Amino acid sequence: MGFNDNYEEYINNLNLVWNECYRVLHNGCRLCINIGDQFARSVYYGRYKVIPIRTEIIKFCESIGFDYMGAIIWQKVTTCNTTGGATVMGSFPYPRNGILKIDYEFILIFKKYGNAPKINKEMKEKSKLSQEEWNKYFTGHWNFPGEKQDKHLAMFPEELPKRLIKMFSFVGDTILDPFLGSGTTSLAAKNLHRNSIGYEINEYFLPIIKEKLGLRQRTIFQDETFEIIKQENINTDFKEEIKKLLYIFQDPIKFDKKIDPRKLSFGSKIDNSYSKREIYYTVKEVISPKILILNNGLKIRLLGVKERPEKNGGAIQFLKEKALGQKVFIKFDAIKHDEENNLLCYLYLSNKTFLNAHLIKNDLVEVDTEFDYKYKSKFLQKRMVK
């Protein structure tokens, strides 16, 4: 869920999940949601902005009866990728258009109204927190490293569910994770002597879950029982289910996604798909030796290309003759956008002619040396040879 949805669909599909969580949750118990702000990339949303997904989650959860109990800000002390993308973003080193690195996430806490199930004294004693744990957990800011994103797009460290499980459940309780992913929540629950139920719609993650929970090493888990249930296909019209919700999110801004965000990193970990065939566009307009507009309205900037004013006419004519109206495909580097939010890319004709390199080879442009990128050395060599 997410990549194939627009923002409105994404939020309303999430709301179906929260609605089910409310239905199955015991009175007096907690729903904890880990969510981060997201960049609305100009490449497919028209402009940079930060989307505060948490605000819609809070609005919906309160509308169905949850009490909002506050949020914990998790500062991810980490070197792994953050939601914000590039290490240096915006107008660096100049003021005004710098962009905050989103190296934090929120943990939203909700309570279902009513009296919680009775807990016997033995379970209470087994579930006690130390004073040190209490002071560390029940605070508005947490600081611990994030998880390296190598197998699942939204992995989090075991420390996160461990804290929440100890804070809001007793030994023997059942923990539900509707987005099980790599199985971290179930692992934390097992280690804390709780039961757990997890849902994961992507079957690709099943081997990862089995490995994390040690299902291939049965001797370790002699006292535990694990069951994997594959749900049969259900004939549910989710659009109709959304219509039944007490609150339906309607996005005031209709975004036009010009390019699949998965292509910015050559494949998606969330759906295990890596592009084997290029996506082709056509060049609609050549604005300058480095700026072009594609048939879907996307404005691109040729990475590594710096204009030579005295050669601009020749460079533009070269691009028009080679690329205007032609099928092209684009590839990306670590830095995705310039200070004006143009998408930085390498441009290729369908026959794999590398247009960035040919502009340099034909002495029509200079090599941009203001920042590092994959083909910088190659471009400089072509310029020197010329």
The predicted model gives 204-232 an average pLDDT of 79
- Among 286, 287, 289, residue whose Cα is nearest residue 311: 289
Which tens digits make up the pLDDT trace of 40-60?
Answer: 655 455 566 788 899 999 999
C-alpha triplet 191, 31, 212: angle, nearest 5°:
30
Quickly tell me which residue has 């690709």 as its tokens.
Answer: 204
The predicted model gives 74-101 an average pLDDT of 63
Q: How confident is the model at residue 202 (pLDDT cuts 50, 70, 90)?
A: confident
Which tens digits make up the pLDDT trace of 316-327?
Answer: 999 999 999 999
The amino acid present at 97, given as its one-letter code, is N
Quote the pLDDT of residue 262. Answer: 52
The amino acid present at 326, given as its one-letter code, is Q
Q: Which domains does the chain have, with CATH numbers?
A: 7-243 (3.40.50.150), 277-385 (2.40.50.90)
The residues pairing with 297 across neighbouring beta strands, listed in sequence order, are none
SS (H, E, C) 65-81: CEEEEEEEEEEECCCCC
- Among 97, 111, 129, residue whose Cα is nearest residue 61: 111
Q: What are phi and psi of 253, to 5 degrees?
A: -110, 120
Specify the pTM: 0.69
347 vs 208, higher pLDDT: 347
Which tens digits make up the pLDDT trace of 356-370?
Answer: 999 999 999 999 998
Residues 6+ apart with CB under 8 A from 277: none
C-alpha triplet 354, 356, 357: angle, nearest 5°:
70
Cα(41)–Cα(84) distance, rounded to whole angstroms?
10
201 vs 4, higher pLDDT: 201
